[in-house]
Chains A and B, each alone.
Chain A
Amino acid sequence: MIPMPDQATDERERAADGADTARAATLDLLRRELARGTAELAVLCILSSGRRYGYELLRLLRGTGNGLLEISEGTLYPLLHRLEDAGHISPAWQAEGRARPRKYYALTPDGHQHVAMLRAEWSGLVNAMQELLTTFEERQP
């Protein structure tokens, strides 16, 4: 059976919408993976400027780079606990005039060393990737 012109247009639009949704989902997944991979450095980098509490860290990450570094509680809190276990950060409960206390995380001296190492590694990786992208630039057809 040959589709009618209107029916064919509808099918094409539905197919295009489906492709757009799939592309957006792939991009979203890629961004999440990248954010998760860089979460440790991102969190430690923020903490190197001073102590922060969990929700504040989430908001700062969400507000940086158009949300590219956004992570969820499911990534943040296990990461904070792991960094605490490793001795890179230390927590302190403080109320500071509020009715409810907050748990602040701060870098330990060991954490400062760890951040310096991660920063150096990251810079090396970015430079190498940039060099690779420039050298093997994709040829347009």
Chain B
Amino acid sequence: MSDDRHRIEDYAQAAARCLPGPARHKTRSKAELAAHLYDAAEAGELAEVLQRLGSPRSAAALFTWARTAPLASMSRRLRAALIDLLPLIGVTIALAVRQAGKGLAIQVSFPPPNAYHPGGGILQAVGIPLALTWSILVLGILESRTGSTPGKRLLGLTVVTETGLRAPPGACVARRLSLLAGPFAWLDWLPQFWGERRRFLDRLTRTKVVAQRGQDSPQAVPGYPRAVT
């Protein structure tokens, strides 16, 4: 049984690495998989069950909470995006104020393209690139590591792959690249007009944004830590 225990714990730990956040949901999914394997071991069927489940990644796809979770509504996603893009919004407003202060015609759009803005000065040279780096690179990496950004966390949303697993960093960064297109970035949100809940880039990167279930009352799993590391 000791061998079985090691095998089960190693397998469950490997599967947990593919599971998306938040940690409390990850813990529950890992615990359910481990419990299933311990029951199989008690019945003398562990090898058979492990063969059926395949790799830890494919097992994780069966036990993840996110596979069947509902897609987040576009309005909720938009609110999360507005929170996440606050630095970019701030730079845009500052740019407009600066142009107005210099008596120039206000020529800004949102998101601001990383191009020439009359009277842009340091805002254009440093502000916009920094805000875009935050919005694309920093938030993309954060999204891949935790499944959420600050805005998504507040709204109870998680980014996952189509099978409900943790999205890879490349996909998380790529799904935010539309911000480089300036005001044309909004074209990415067009599918909401025909009732879809995924942006074009969500489809292209094979990711989806789901609403976390039971986020108000996460159920503790007796005998398991609250979070999976």
Contacts and interface: CB of A to CB of B under 8 A. Distances in A.
Contacts of A5: none
A77 B222 contact: no
Contact of A81 (B31, B36, B68, B219): B68
A56 B220 CA distance: 22
A77 B224 CA distance: 20
A124 interface: no
Given A73-B52, A77-B62, A101-B223, A55 B67 contact: no
Contact of A103 (B32, B49, B62, B67): B32
B68 A53 contact: no
Contacts of B35: 53-55, 100-103
B185 interface: no
Which range contains the number of B residues in contact with the other chain?
20 to 34
Interface in A68-108: 72-74, 77-78, 81-82, 84-85, 91-95, 99-103
A14 B52 CA distance: 30
Interface in B40-58: 40, 43, 49, 52-53
Contact of B62 (A56, A74, A85, A92): A74
A103 B52 CA distance: 21
Interface in B56-83: 59, 62-63, 65, 67-70
A12 interface: no
Interface in B11-37: 31-32, 34-36
Q: What size tier do the contact residues of chain A reach?
A: 20 to 34
A73 B36 contact: yes
Contacts, number: 64
Interface string A19-61: 0000000000000000000000000000000000111100100
B67 A81 contact: yes
B219 A91 contact: yes
A60 to B, nearest CB: 13
Nearest to B8: A100
A55 B221 contact: no
B43 A55 contact: yes
Give the 4 A-B residue pairs with the shortest CB-CB distance, closest first. A55-B39, A82-B68, A81-B68, A101-B222
Interface of A: 53-56, 59, 72-74, 77-78, 81-82, 84-85, 91-95, 99-103
Given A54-B35, A81-B65, A102-B39, 20 more contacts: A53-B35, A54-B32, A54-B36, A54-B39, A55-B35, A55-B39, A55-B43, A72-B52, A73-B59, A77-B62, A78-B68, A81-B68, A82-B68, A84-B213, A85-B69, A85-B70, A93-B219, A93-B220, A100-B38, A102-B35
